[in-house]
Structure 1
Amino acid sequence: MRLLSISLDRAILDPTSAAARRQALTYAGFEAVIVVVAPGIAQDVDLASGIRAKTFGGTSKFGAFMQAWAHLRTAEPCDVVTAQEPVFTGMLALRVARRLRCALHVQDHSGLFGRRAFGWRERVLRPVATFVLRKADRIRTVSQRGKRGLIAIGIPESNIDVIPIATDIARFSSVDQSPTLSNQLLCISRLEPEKGIGVLLSAFARLHKTHPEASLVIVGDGSQRMTLEKLARSFHVGDAVLFAGKADDVRPYLSRAALYVQPSYFEGWGMAVIEAAASGLPIVMTDVGCAGEVIKDGESGLVVPPGNAQALAAALERVYADAPLRNMLAAGARRAVKELPTPEDAAVAIRASLAAARRSV
């Protein structure tokens, strides 16, 4: 199969990265060109035999997209064009698929549908995503929650494939940790509004009043870091909260934690949650992404409504103060993630989804 993939993920350009390895595994046996729209970068990389990543950098995202479109207007014929998401790369892929008269395959990992739009940006982009998805020959989403959202906007169920994001469970199941001996809560997240870190700080401040020995480590960075650090101080927990910044390897943090908390307003899937569960940590998370499918309330974690600091604080109190409950939820989380597809299984399923798109035209 001749494949053209359009992506925003600049990690693909590092052949040693997990993203590049996933692409090489998934597209093995294809003639694949992966167009990476990455402002400020201009390089081509061979990921494997027949699989090449090309970049169109420009000085801005707009410039990068214009360069990519100029190239794609003369792209070689292919069987399938696949887009990483249904808005920016989706619009490019739709135009290319129309020009080449080939199949359009779109990935939807955002969980954008089946919930209220978060902020003005989503309200503006949702109609664009809806337009592209309705034109797609095949759609790949990561959860049953995502599938329900797509059906709600009129996508035929028969055109949707649910393929969870593959995680190397073995890499995290070997993490050596003992959550009953720690007083540390852990969150791995970008520091952006949709991640709900402000809600987490409010909930942690309530927990800290009754458990002053507790600490919170937040791994990740983003535009809200200074605001959130100031918020932690205003809650009088500044000394108990560590903003650790980005980490290439989060396993050392997982090994020192008593529990993992994900307070997001929305998630497409929640890879950090899966990694924490594979590491043997009990999970407290909002009802987003993989909640209800992998992390089930009372079995493999505690699940609370998004944006509810009081409910989140109560769940943290239950898990933090009850060692037997922590152990039970940790064991349940580990069992749950073992049922997920391996990277090899996911690659086979994605290739089948692409083949189904090809057969539809």
Structure 2
Amino acid sequence: MEKDLKILMISSDRNILTPGSAVSERMKEYGGLVEELHIVLLCDSSHTSSLKIENGKLKIAEGVYVYPTNSSMKILRPLDAARIGKRIVLKNKFVRGECVVTTQDPFECGWAGLNVKKKWRIPLEVQLHTNPFSPYFGGFQNRVRQFFARTVLASADNIRVVSENLRHNIENLLKIENSKLKILPIYVDKDQIENGQISFDLHARYPWHFILLAASRITPEKNLSMALRVLALVRERYPSTGLVIAGSGSEEKVLKSLVEKLGLAGFVEFVGWQSELASFYKTANAFIQTSFYEGYGLALVEAGLSGLPVVTTPVGIATELENGKDAYIFPHDRPDMFAARLLSKEDYMAKIRDNWEKTALKIKP
């Protein structure tokens, strides 16, 4: 980034509004690298009612401003973001060649960014953290988002993807010029993860000898029902095995019903979304990721850097890892293969842990 560059960012990450959060601190760091950083945040008024908003913006650092859309309805957020973004460019005298619009995604944020680009003819950079064209990216809302994504990505000047696998998929599917696609993995603070302090031990909280950890949103594409089936298979041989799920989402009620159906009551713990996972990563016995698709897979990387052996489906960054060396990688419809590897426990799993120092160097941006 350049100090004389003005950036208009369009985001939906409301953690930007939380003082001291990792996202807020990262925005401050970005702001220190450029002349000005203006962030349009898609949200409603309930997210900003306790904040001191002056003239439609909140200053979080020198040269860093957040402009909440405070939309009356969710469907209006992209429209409000585009309107606010156009006004920011005009009011703050953005000059072509010395400014850029960057959006968190090619969906609602991307649509707003594209409208700003068309109005003022300034470059548009789109960030892509997941594969919106995966067959598992289902549901009516996501179908609408696919339509947005095709239009936005085709019009973007640069597209930032988080993995080689995602770059390859997007390039082949949309026939986008290779020069427009840039691989920039999600930033991972290796030192902070490795040196993270343990505040509790999962083995002190739960009576299980072997503890599996899953950390993700509880949504259909995460395929956590398979993690439950893996647990059921492992417990046939090792009854003192349990699963901790750190996350929240629309599928939680469905999964809790499946827990009862599979006879896993008392061996699965839903702990909700966690802002700090160091104690989970460092006191569990293995990390399990069963997703149908991932853009990157930050939790997997954090788990590996914490010394936790990983078993995963071939998604996101896992496609760039070596099966049997960096992680154990199996198809999303083979809980038996996951279970068989977990049953080997100490001998094979220890080898994965030992390889992660080299793996970290390979995948760290």
Structure 1 unaligned residues grouped into runs of 5+: 343-361
The equivalent residue for 1:167 is 188
Identity of aligned residues (%): 28
Q: What CA distance in whole angstroms lies between the structure 1 residues aligned with 2:71 and 2:143? A: 27
- For the Cα contact (< 8 Å) 1:182–1:257, is it kept in 2? no
Match of 2:135 among 116, 134, 137: 116
Q: What CA distance in whole angstroms lies between the structure 2 residues aligned with 1:125 and 1:62? A: 12
Deviations 1:108-139 (A, max 9, x none): 111224x4243234334223201110101111
Match of 2:76 among 63, 75, 78: 63
Q: What CA distance in whole angstroms lies between the structure 2 residues aligned with 1:46 and 1:341? A: 31
Q: What CA distance in whole angstroms lies between the structure 1 residues aligned with 2:66 and 2:197? A: 36
C-alpha RMSD of matched pairs (Å): 2.2
User: Given the two structures, how large is their TM-score scaled by the length of structure 2?
Assistant: 0.86
- For the Cα contact (< 8 Å) 1:41–1:56, is it kept in 2? no
Q: What CA distance in whole angstroms lies between the structure 2 residues aligned with 1:76 and 1:16? A: 28
| 2:308 is the counterpart of 1:281 | yes
Structure 2 unaligned residues grouped into runs of 5+: none
Give the residue type in structure 2 aligned to 1:63: L
Q: What CA distance in whole angstroms lies between the structure 2 residues aligned with 1:341 and 1:212? A: 37
Task: State how 1:98-247 maps to structure 2 within 5 Å.
Answer: 98-113=118-133, 115-121=134-140, 122-152=142-172, 153-175=174-196, 183-247=210-274
The equivalent residue for 1:313 is 339
Give the residue type in structure 2 aligned to 1:85: D
Aligned residues: 337
Q: Which moved more, 1:24-33 or 1:8-17?
A: 24-33
Give the residue type in structure 2 aligned to 1:116: P
The equivalent residue for 1:95 is 115
1:202 positional shift: 1.1
Secondary structure of 1:58's match?
coil
Deviations 1:254-290 (A, max 9, x none): 1221110111111111111111011001100111011
Give the residue type in structure 1 aligned to 2:145: L
Q: What CA distance in whole angstroms lies between the structure 1 residues aligned with 2:354 and 2:110? A: 40
The equivalent residue for 2:28 is 24
Give the residue type in structure 1 aligned to 2:356: A
Q: What CA distance in whole angstroms lies between the structure 1 residues aligned with 2:21 and 2:114? A: 28
Higher relative contact order (CA 8 A, sep 6+): 1
Q: What CA distance in whole angstroms lies between the structure 2 residues aligned with 1:235 and 1:20? A: 42
Give the residue type in structure 1 aligned to 2:139: W
1:58 positional shift: 2.2
Secondary structure of 2:113's match?
helix
User: Given the two structures, how large is their TM-score scaled by the length of structure 1?
Assistant: 0.87
1:176 positional shift: 7.2
Q: What CA distance in whole angstroms lies between the structure 2 residues aligned with 1:309 and 1:14? A: 39
